[in-house]
Amino acid sequence: MFKVDDYDVVVVGAGHAGSEAGLAAARMGFKTAVFAINLDSIAMMPCNPAMGGPAKGHLVREVDALGGEIGINTDKAMIQVRTLNTGKGPAVQSLRAQCDKKAYQFSMKYTLEKTPNLYVIQGEIVEIMVEGQRVAGVLTKTGAFYGAKIVIVTTGTYLNGRIIIGDVKYSGGPNGLYPATELSSCLDRLGVKLMRFKTGTPPRVDRRTIDFDRMVIQPGDEVPQPFSYINDKIEVSQIPCYLTYTNDKTHNIIRQNLSRSPLYSGEIKGVGPRYCPSIEDKVVKFPHKERHQLFIEPEGLNTYEMYVQGMSSSMPEDVQHAFLRTIAGLENVRIMRDAYAIEYDCIDPTQLTPWLEFKDIYGLFFAGQVNGTSGYEEAAAQGLMAGINAALKLRGGEPFILDRSESYIGVLIDDLVTKGTNEPYRMMTSRAEYRLILRHDNADLRLTEKGYRVGLVTQDRYQRYLKRKGQIEDEIERLKKTRVSPTTEVINFLISVGSSEIRSGISLYELLKRPEITYENLKVIDYGRPSDILASAIPSIEIEIKYEGYIKKEIEQIESFKKLENRSIPNDIDYENINGLSLEARQKLSKVKPVNVGQASRISGVSPSDISVLLMHLRTRGH
Amino acid sequence: MDTIAAISTPPGEGGIGIVRLSGDRAIDIVLKIFKSKSNRDLRKVKSHSMIYGHIIDPDSGSSVDEVLVSVMKSPHTYTVEDVVEINCHGGFTSLKKVLELCLRFGARPAEPGEFTRRAFINGRIDLAQAEAVLEIIRSNSDDTLKASVAQLEGNISREISDIRSKFIDFIAHVDAFVDFPDEDVDDIVDLEPGITECIGRIDKLISSAGTGKILREGLKTVIIGKPNVGKSSLLNALLKEERAIVTEIPGTTRDIIEEYLNIRGVPVRLIDTAGIRNTDDIVEKIGVDRTKAFLSQADLVILMFDSSVELTEEDLAIIDLVKDKIVVALLNKSDLPAKLSAGYINRMLPYARIIRTSLVDGTGLDELTEFIYGLFYSGDVKINDPIITNTRHLACLKKAADAANSALDTLKSGSPVDLITVDLMDAVDALGEITGETAGEEIIDRIFENFCVGK
């Protein structure tokens, strides 16, 4: 062992969590090292070539609003983008981009490299050194020691990774990389409780062997939207995806070969995600479904590889060939990479504080898939929060915690550290209680001020935020004050958009509440409209006005939510000595150590009666 | 916690009554006012034993009552604290005196339900049990007890959980639809009948609350009729028949006679307007307002006529007062030659049930009690159906129904589907407040159970 250097922060892993963690800590002024097993795997997208979607796209926007990189980098690498759920409601609309995987990786790698205070280093970390319940540094496989005040573990699916393809299994990391085989036992020695999860990825096929005429084309939007708030607009080549379906023949092949599936033979013991079921799972669990959708997505501009979304599998290679060729358009398909399942070690995230620090070791943080999540966006969100909190800890500041009423990030981390997870955790809008407030159009309004205060948001971003916020507020005020009378022009406009006539004066604000009236078509009778309204401000203005009633309802719910959230619980509370708590509640509360009563109330096994008792106890203690 | 005391038996002129104390100082306080016949020290007696003696007012040295004192020591008591019960024999006056002594020596008067609340705080019972126990304490008749017990066993919980589960299904449907936009989740078309059905079920529970209220407070029944028509006799006959405990509710003015009785399991509060009559001209003298006030609260009016004489001005005035109420008209004194026909009364009060009675030989009493029983069990509310007897539950149900109706409006208005989940979630939360269930993972579990989604 030899010492190389001392760092304020060492990040173990350079995937989507590690990249954000490293960038945040370095940008906040701390000397940071980011380690990767292979530097060419920085910010790799080992599964689908897409970023965003419902809730996940919200996370991207939130990370961006706080000064993270994922949104900016996606904008650089996207080759198609769509707004989803346009007809289903304001809160659930989101962006999803198809990315050029290699472009994504290399632009993120370059960003890391050129960031001041940030050093990327190739090496496998085999040990985290701890002295007196405080981290001291990390040791590489080659025996190099790097001192560190804070260590952030972002190992993704690399820990004791094991690849399974049918009856073939071997030790391996994602996408042909080698796994991290020694760090797990170190974590175990440090008292970190590990779990075993499983995930999978579908085959990649050669686009020259696909008959796209037998599929339905899925084009991008006509007017592409950027993810990042620092981009007003974006140019995208809008390369299409294609939709096709499985059929009876596909399902029969799968059924006939079920005994060869490691999922059903008991070979795979790790817990897989329900939202990303393998095709064999879908066929078994939903036998009445005649077909399942498959999306064929490009992996990049400079490659023939296509990703077969919906075909995740751990069936043997020969079965994969057979069932793919039953599908319309894939009759002559050539597989370039087999589908595989991967098992890996992750930690039980209830061992973490709401700022992602391991409760028993000072300065040891965890973020990303190692915390039991799934998805690039979920990883990036945690990485950012871990990076920010590492920096704040070094500054001696209060932790930066977002709650469930202000962000999906808050929902994500609160769920992880409070409830834990027994499958790879994916963010969904259904996990958020206040999704009309947590929209993707207003992430900057919710978070940029906070990001500015911790020092991660740049001056440029902050000024953009102030401008957008000002425009939205001023414009809503102006629409409230601007009244129109039932003149011929106004009546003609109303008739032209199929709206009912007015008999007396009305504000444009009230008119905009009508479903058939949009900010865009209203301009015909809106003479005083400023000419410089940002395109991105318009949806926010419309939503705030059209759904005012529903939004108010959620704001009321948030107020009552905040009551418990603001009742903090002192560190030294002894649950064993509170009369009236159920045995289960005592155990769970002692383990999770919630920071406030709201968090306590979300722990499974803690009943409303337990919370009443806890509140009573805190009151008698004068809290 | 401080020591509380209360008279824990229903007020009344019955024989034995109990003053109960709970808290750290319960035994010390009783020591100061109790003299054991055998000079035993309450602090040293075995838990759950009874000691005979007298309550003495230390100031005057005089005996207040002859009592049995039960000492129950923490933690094996109802409240988990030290509990002392003083069994008094001298009726309400001495109970009050004993309680006053307890308060004078350091106890605080218990708030309603505070013993049960302490049992809850000290972890002996959970919230739902605590509520059900409070209902049992308040229950006055067999059926109230049955409803409370059913609640304890989860009869209401089951129905409410089931409705709540339906709402969660609807939300899961919408959420699958929005969280997995690429998947072929069915469009949101069939939510309307589902939500409508749930609203119907909630409304049924809400309407059962009326029955629940009657169970708790008794069917308010006003007996009205001109002087000497037989009101008091009717009252006595009903009381004798049912052997009910007759209590005079304290706090009510002396001139109202209000009795509580139990007719085939139906609790009935009889208000005899005879008590408020003090001259011959009933309508004028008692004041129409006063009578109206009683009548306006009445669930049932028993209007008595003397069938041996013709209708008087007074009778007509009374008929006018009650014509909007549920009325049973008794043609009393049917043992005497009739001067009044049922048909005639029927024309005056077309919706009233008319029964010929004679309180001399008991004619018609069975028919009357049958009618009261039938009135209570009219409609489809049966005692075995879930009945809401708890005000908090009722408020939550109303909130859930409002939210579901609002979701239905949103759905019909063609607004984006996402918006209806705001209201549906409100409904789920309101129902969960009754059953103690909180949403969360449930919706997500439901999505994956019901929809094949995911890449």
pLDDT of residue B344: 85
pLDDT tops 60 at residue A578: yes
Query: Using 50, 70 and 90 to split pLDDT, how confident is the model at B152?
Result: very low
pLDDT of residue B392: 66
pLDDT of residue B255: 47
pLDDT tops 70 at residue B347: yes
pLDDT tops 80 at residue B149: no
Match 């549906």 to its residue by tokens.
B424
Question: Which of A320-324, B205-209, B289-293 shows the lowest per-residue confidence on average (mean pLDDT)?
Answer: B289-293
Query: Using 50, 70 and 90 to split pLDDT, how confident is the model at A10?
Result: very high
Shortest distance between the Cα of A418 and any Cα of chain B, in A, equals 12
pLDDT of residue B158: 80
Does pTM top 0.80 for this prediction? no
Structure-model confidence comparison of residues A273 and A547, the more confident one: A547
Average pLDDT over residues A566-590: 87
Percent of chain A whose pLDDT exceeds 70: 99
* A585 shares contact with chain B (CB less than 8 Å): no
Shortest distance between the Cα of B440 and any Cα of chain A, in A, equals 7
pLDDT of residue B349: 86
Among the CATH numbers 3.40.50.1010, 3.10.20.30, 3.40.50.10300, 3.40.50.300, which is that of B218-376?
Answer: 3.40.50.300
Query: Using 50, 70 and 90 to split pLDDT, how confident is the model at B389?
Result: low
Shortest distance between the Cα of A345 and any Cα of chain B, in A, equals 23
Find residues 526-555 of chain A whose CB sits inside 8 Å of chain B: 547, 550, 553-554
Other Cβ atoms less than 10 A from the Cβ of B113: the count is 15
pLDDT of residue A605: 81
pLDDT tops 60 at residue B251: no
pLDDT of residue B139: 47
Element (H, E) at A262: helix A262-265
- Model pLDDT for residues A346-388, shown as the tens digit of each residue: 999 999 999 999 999 999 999 999 999 999 999 999 999 999 9
pLDDT of residue A265: 73
d(CA A471, CA A534): 8
Average pLDDT over residues B41-70: 87
pLDDT tops 70 at residue A147: yes
Whether the Cβ atoms of residue A22 and residue A118 lie closer than 8 Å to each other:
yes
d(CA B408, CA A476): 29
pLDDT of residue A157: 93
Among the CATH numbers 3.40.50.11750, 3.30.2020.10, 3.40.30.10, 3.30.1360.120, which is that of B4-125?
Answer: 3.30.1360.120
Q: Which residues of B touch A607 (CB under 8 A)?
A: 126-127, 436
Whether the Cβ atoms of residue B239 and residue B261 lie closer than 8 Å to each other:
yes
Option in A430, A601, A612 nearest B444 (CB): A430
pLDDT of residue A457: 97
Q: Which residues of B touch A202 (CB under 8 A)?
A: 455
* A514 shares contact with chain B (CB less than 8 Å): no
pLDDT of residue A78: 97
Match 């084309």 to its residue by tokens.
A217
Per-residue burial over A521-537, b if 16 or more Cβ lie within 10 Å, else e, is ebeebbeeeeeebeebb
pLDDT tops 50 at residue B326: yes
Does domain B155-210+388-450 correspond to CATH entry 1.20.120.430? Answer: yes
Average pLDDT over residues B242-250: 34
Domains and CATH numbers, chain A: 204-340 (2.40.30.260), 469-555 (1.10.10.1800), 567-620 (1.10.150.570)
pLDDT of residue B230: 81
pLDDT tops 70 at residue B83: yes
Tell me the ipTM for this assembly: 0.79
Shortest distance between the Cα of A271 and any Cα of chain B, in A, equals 15
Query: Using 50, 70 and 90 to split pLDDT, how confident is the model at A47?
Result: very high
Count Cβ atoms within 10 A of the Cβ of residue B351 and give its class: 0-12 exposed, 13-18 middle, 19 or more buried: exposed
Match 């605590």 to its residue by tokens.
B130
Query: Using 50, 70 and 90 to split pLDDT, how confident is the model at A300?
Result: very high
pLDDT tops 50 at residue B35: yes
* B137 shares contact with chain A (CB less than 8 Å): no
Find residues 240-279 of chain A whose CB sits inside 8 Å of chain B: 273-277
- Model pLDDT for residues A50-61, shown as the tens digit of each residue: 999 999 999 999
**Do B218-376 and B155-210+388-450 fall under one CATH topology?**
no
pLDDT of residue A553: 86
pLDDT tops 70 at residue A96: yes
Option in B126, B183, B425 nearest A609 (CB): B126
Q: Rounded mean pLDDT of chain A? A: 93
d(CA A144, CA A159): 20
Average pLDDT over residues A478-490: 94
pLDDT tops 70 at residue A20: yes
Question: Which of A38-52, A208-222, B127-141, B416-430 shows the lowest per-residue confidence on average (mean pLDDT)?
Answer: B127-141
Query: Using 50, 70 and 90 to split pLDDT, how confident is the model at A523?
Result: very high
Phi and psi for A373 in degrees, rounded to 5?
-95, -175
pLDDT tops 60 at residue A439: yes
* A84 shares contact with chain B (CB less than 8 Å): yes
Q: Which residues of B touch A282 (CB under 8 A)?
A: 452, 454
- Mutant choice from B131, B178, B444 vs A, greatest count of A C-beta within 10 A: B178
Closest listed residue to residue A589, CA positions, set B165, A577, A274: A577
- Model pLDDT for residues B160-169, shown as the tens digit of each residue: 889 999 999 8
Q: Which residues of B touch A582 (CB under 8 A)?
A: 123
pLDDT tops 50 at residue B237: yes
Q: Which residues of B touch A515 (CB under 8 A)?
A: 413-415
Cβ A55–B179 below 8 Å, yes or no? yes
Cβ B444–A428 below 8 Å, yes or no? yes
pLDDT of residue A388: 98
Cβ contacts of residue A25 below 8 Å, gap of 6+? A8, A9, A11, A32, A117, A150, A152, A387, A388, A390, A391
Domain boundaries, chain B: 4-125, 155-210+388-450, 218-376
For β-strands B4-7 and B108-109, DSSP reports them as: parallel
d(CA B33, CA B42): 12
Percent of chain A whose pLDDT exceeds 90: 79
CA A131 to chain CA centroid, nearest Å: 34
Q: For residue B39, is it left (φ>0), alpha (ψ between -120 and 50) or beta?
A: left
Question: Which of A467-471, B30-34, B262-266, B315-319 shows the lowest per-residue confidence on average (mean pLDDT)?
Answer: B262-266
